[in-house]
Amino acid sequence: MATNNKKGGALDRARLREAVPRLLSWYAAVKKPLPWRLSPTAYHVWISEIMLQQTRISAAIPYYERFLRALPDVKVLAEVDEEVLMKLWEGLGYYSRARNLKKAAVRVMTEHGGELPRTAHELRELDGIGPYTAGAIASIAFGQPSAAVDGNVLRVISRLTALEDDVMSAATRGKVTEALEEVYPSGEDAGNLTQALMELGENVCIPNGEAKCDACPLAELCLAKRQGRQDDLPVKTPPKPRRIEKRTVLLLKCGDQYALAQREKKGLLAGLWEFPNTDGHLDASGALEAARALGASPLSASPVGDALHVFSHVEWHMIGYLVECDRLPAALAHATPDVIRTEYAIPKAFRAYLAKI
């Protein structure tokens, strides 16, 4: 059996081909009855895969179920008001994903007769659907021999074949996708193989901590295990350090009302609602001055604690003040805490301060 998987070498197709029946048998024995697996329509697979891109399965399930109760099909999604959509997505983060869902749904209705395309190539033409999601929908919902290659799958294949290419490279992702699709089955087994690879990477061939080789159906085939290199693979370029931004959050309060600002329609957390905030860490007098600059009539400012929120490329190191006011800024929205929690989409970055009101 060929093992030429040094950097730039060909992937071992024979090893991949031998892995397929083992993965399918293993998955049949261990698969969990997740909601989207019980009814794997294209719409259900699409929504679940977009949610799972940055969210643990256990955390995504209640969001998925609530989303489908409100938006049960593509037509309803295409017609939903954006504020309602953002509220449904609140807490999942990466809100551009939700906006792309609606954009794609509109195109499905206008260009595809209300039915999601069946092939990965056509699916990739829709907003927010990249190679991974397209492969997942095509294989799970339509039985197409299309691989869905994410970090979990790259790790499994890198270890199985002792692949030394950088998995952060698009070229490596393309190389693994091409090799997998040469051995992919069609029909129900296509979706089962996609989910088997995902599940193996999530629960057995794990990224942090010791790989659970004793529970792995591919242990006898795995070159990394044979060579004792599980901890060395996959090869991955270290990410750039995140930029740190200091911010001061102002809880502007008058009676039972708090002020809210809507973010710009483009950029980080676009279009969502937030508590007014400003660059830098201010002292109490600075917080009062910042409140005046917004158009409030502040009386006092008291600290309400620190908070940290980590985005993919930046960290917000926040401090906050409760600012009692005679008058809130006319240019900002005003609402009670109950209304803010039920009607406004507040991003997770401000959850620590939402708990303070």
| Nearest-angstrom CA–CA distance, 90 and 92 | 6
The DSSP code for 243 is E
80 token code pair? 């939903």
| Nearest-angstrom CA–CA distance, 315 and 281 | 14
10 Å CB burial of residue 172 (0-12, 13-18, 19+) is buried
Q: Catalytic annotation on 199?
A: no
Quick one: which of 143, 208, 210, 198 has its CA closest to 32?
A: 198
Strand ranges for the chain from DSSP E:
243-254, 257-262, 273-274, 277-279, 297-310, 314-327, 333-335
CB neighbours (10 Å) of residue 319? 19
| Nearest-angstrom CA–CA distance, 316 and 146 | 39
* Among 49, 90, 164, 274, the one annotated catalytic: 49
Active-site positions read 49
